Structure 1
Amino acid sequence: MALSIDILAFEGCQVLDVTGPLQVFATANDLAALDGRPTPYRARVIAPAPMITTSSGLSISAAPLSAVDVPPDTLIVAGGQGTEAACRDAALIKEIRTRAAVVRRLASVCSGAFLLATAGLLDGRRAATHWQRGPEFSARFPQVRLDLEPIFIRDGAIWTSAGVTAGIDLCLALVEDDLGHATALAVARQLVVFLKRPGDQAQFSAPLERQSQSGPFAALHGWMAGNLHRPLTLEILAERAGMSTRSFSRHYRRITGQTPQAAIKAMRCDLARDLLDRRLSVSEVARRSGIGSPETLRRAFLNAYGQTPLAYQRQFASNRTG
């Protein structure tokens, strides 16, 4: 019997918070049909109105919030710009609370966690949401154990995820929970997802964080990220920044809170982690990341992540192949 999935949308929600999860389950159905297997899911969008407009302007038709005669297996709550108004909708919060009491599994995407928390469903639980809204969430819901590192978190029967595309990762994990790793991986491949990421993978990387920063070294960080395989001496960086080495070192540390050498090391470790995810050999990863030798990579990785490159790669291989 197909598992029923309800994806709760509302006015101003994020379109990918709805369509991303919906497509994961639709693809699982498509693959089952190709193999002659029964349809595993019956997914639909539900909303307070028959037609809602997402924050991107795209309208989505939805099934009504009718009485729950036969409760769905799973309820997934979207997030987005309309979350604040949705949190003030007492009827909608009551509806979420009522439905949560009868489903086997409850989930939220991105700021949809605000709706679950408003309904009191995350009290005392560990939860995730988009990193940018973390301070606001913690201030409003101190009784929730917010963790902004993972892309999704499972606490018992409640799953919460970080921003937007992390909802796809979460739903791939739901498919894996239901149908096994091989099926989840097949869905990920069909969707051309680069990697079926485990929940404890960080929401954003060190290079991305640095490149997103404004200030005098924003362009330099972007250049550094693309040239980590090359020697990046203090002299090269200072020349790139248009400063003397002494002035560059002083200003860089004052503005970023770390030395240029520490920044390069962190960026190279982050790149090495991405390369290990692609199943490259440790020697190749050490070369491409600019770290140098496998032994130097091993020491740097242990210091940065508390495990060796091989242990990390085995962990991700296990997540990929079961």
Structure 2
Amino acid sequence: MPSKSAKFRRPEPREKAPARRVAIVAFPGVTLLDISGPAQVFAELQAIDLPGAGYSLSYLSTSGGLVPTDVGMMVETAPISSIRPNQVDTLVIPGGPGIWALRQEAVLMKWIMEVLPKARRVASVCLGAFVLAWIGALDGKRAATHWRYCPRLADGFPKIRVEPNAIFVKDGRVWTSAGVSAGIDLALAMIEEDFGHTTALDVARRLVVFLKRPGGQSQFSTVLAAQASDVEGRFSALHAWIIENIAGDLKVETLAKKAGMTPRTFARAYASRTGMTPASGVEALRVETARLLLESSEIRGVVEVARRAGFGDDERMRRAFIRHLGISPSEYRSRFSG
């Protein structure tokens, strides 16, 4: 029979698991946000009570010291020799205008190649995908990079299946992301993989960003093209009003009255400024609204999403999704919903 003292003995505190090292490479001309975006996401975990080991961040360069970024700000780094390849859990290779000279950095490229088979996962942001391409890490894999450089990556490396519409791509343990801010999406996806949807959503809320951005780069093109073409912002207020009244009857006459024009003048001016007809513009904003609703776990039915987004019925919404995104609402939900 156990003694009284043994019966009420407090359990020994469990030893906390060591943090997983995230090594972010830096080089002259690196894009600052390619580094700071993922780093901020990973660092935000420090404020959250995690079920397992968190991350420790290391910023590394060939020789260490201050490294100039593309905007002139300096990043303090440690030399790559201070970290053994088997100590790296996640390797992140950012991009930037200085990426092209990196291929000649024999010491750094050799270190990356040594880390590659030992790290749990390897990732690139923006043009960092070219580093992984140079060393053959993307051969036979799907990959993303900045939309402007997708043709160059595809032409230069035919063994890579470049996905120009993707914000990020995970193929096995190799992750690649699109341009600049897409590194934030990539880091959030890694947190979701390691710690679950709730923790990743908590981090996203703290940073005031989408946990899962709706769609890929080209899937933003309809709305973004309208904003880019409307350089004077003539219809910005109208677009905001449309979103606020997205389930309403948004006929050309209604929009024209809100814009203070005759229907004919409005239709001509809107098409000239945005490159879309008013009906196409409304449909694009309804698709945008429906995306966000589909990502939410609060609304289960596709029919209800269609109603709230102003489509009226789910078949009309399905046709709009196919036109704009190339997938159905159900397929979109299965991919992006938490």
TM-score (ref. length: structure 1): 0.78
Give, in angstroms, the shift of residue 135 of structure 1: 2.6
Structure 1 residues 235 and 181: CA distance shift in structure 2, 3 A: closer
Q: Which residue of 2 aligns with 1:300?
A: 316
**Which residue matches 1:4?**
21
1:180-204 alpha-carbon deviations (Å, 9 max, x no partner): 3333233323x33333117x83235
Looking at CA atoms only, which structure, 1 or 2, has the larger radius of gyration?
2
Give the drift of 1:284: 8.3
**Partner SS, residue 106 of structure 1:** strand
Q: How many residues align?
A: 305
1:171 aligned to 2:192? no
Distance of 2:298 and 2:192 partners within structure 1: 25
Residues 107 and 83 from structure 1, CA distance in 2 versus in 1: closer, same or farther, beyond 3 angstroms?
A: same
Aligned match of 2:37 in 20, 33, 36?
A: 20
Identify unmatched segments of 5+ residues in structure 1.
none
- Does 2:161 align with 1:161? no
Question: C-alpha offsets along residues 26-73 of structure 1, whole Å, 9 cap, x if unaligned?
Answer: 2223323xx7x6642222111124210111221111110117363311
Query: Contact 2:86 / 2:118 at 8 angstroms: preserved in 1?
Result: no
Deviations 1:81-140 (A, max 9, x none): 222222443443333222213222110112211221122211221001122322333233
Amino acid at match of 1:57: G
> Deviation at 1:303?
0.9
Question: What's the counterpart of residue 210 of structure 2?
Answer: 195
Counterpart Cα distance in 2 of 1:101 and 1:209: 41
Match of 1:120, SS?
coil
User: What does 1:35-54 align with in structure 2 at a 5 Å threshold?
Assistant: 39-49=53-63, 50-54=65-69
Q: Is 1:220–1:241's contact at 8 Å kept on the other side of the alignment?
A: no
Distance across 2 between alignment mates of 1:80 and 1:26: 22
Aligned-partner Cα distance in 2 for 1:236–1:59: 52
Q: Is the 8 A contact 2:24 2:94 kept in 1?
A: yes
Q: Which piece of structure 1 moves more, 48-57 or 62-71?
A: 62-71
1:271 aligns with 2:289: yes
After alignment, is 106-115 or 17-26 more displaced?
17-26
118, 121, 142: which one aligns with 1:105: 121
Partner of 1:180: 196
Looking at structure 1, the residues matched to 195 and 282 of structure 2 have their Cα atoms a distance apart, in angstroms, of: 42
Instruction: Give the % identical residues.
Output: 35
CA distance in 2, matches of 1:118, 1:208: 32
Return the offset for 1:142. Answer: 2.9
Cα 1:225–1:250 change in 2 (3 A) is closer
SS in 1 for 2:87: coil
Q: Deviations over 1:207-251 (max 9, x none)?
A: 123212368xx7456455324236554467789698983996699
Residue 155 of structure 1 deviates from its aligned partner by 0.4
Q: Using the TM superposition, give the Cα deviation of residue 307 of structure 1 relative to its aligned residue in structure 2, in angstroms.
A: 3.1
In 1, are the aligned partners of 2:24 and 2:57 still within 8 Å (CA)? yes
Q: Given residue 46 of structure 1, which amino acid in structure 2 is its aligned partner?
A: L
Partner SS state of residue 63, structure 1? strand
Q: Distance in 1 between matches of 2:197 and 2:291?
A: 22
Query: Following the alignment from structure 1 to structure 2, what is the Cα–Cα distance between the partners of residues 241 and 83?
Result: 50
Unaligned ranges ≥5, structure 2:
1-17, 322-326
Letter of the structure 2 residue corresponding to residue 266 of structure 1: A
How far apart are residue 9 of structure 1 and its match?
1.2
Query: In structure 2, what is the Cα distance between the partners aligned to 1:231 and 1:192?
Result: 35
Q: 2:167 aligns with which of 148, 151, 166?
A: 151
Shift of residue 6, structure 1, vs aligned partner: 0.7
* Structure 2 CA distance for partners of 1:288 and 1:181, relative to 1, 3 Å: closer
**Matched residues in 2 for 1:60 and 1:157: separation?**
27
In the alignment, which residue of structure 2 is the partner of 1:55?
70
Measure the CA separation in 2 of the matches of 1:87 and 1:233.
55
2: CA distance, partners of 1:261 / 1:212 = 18
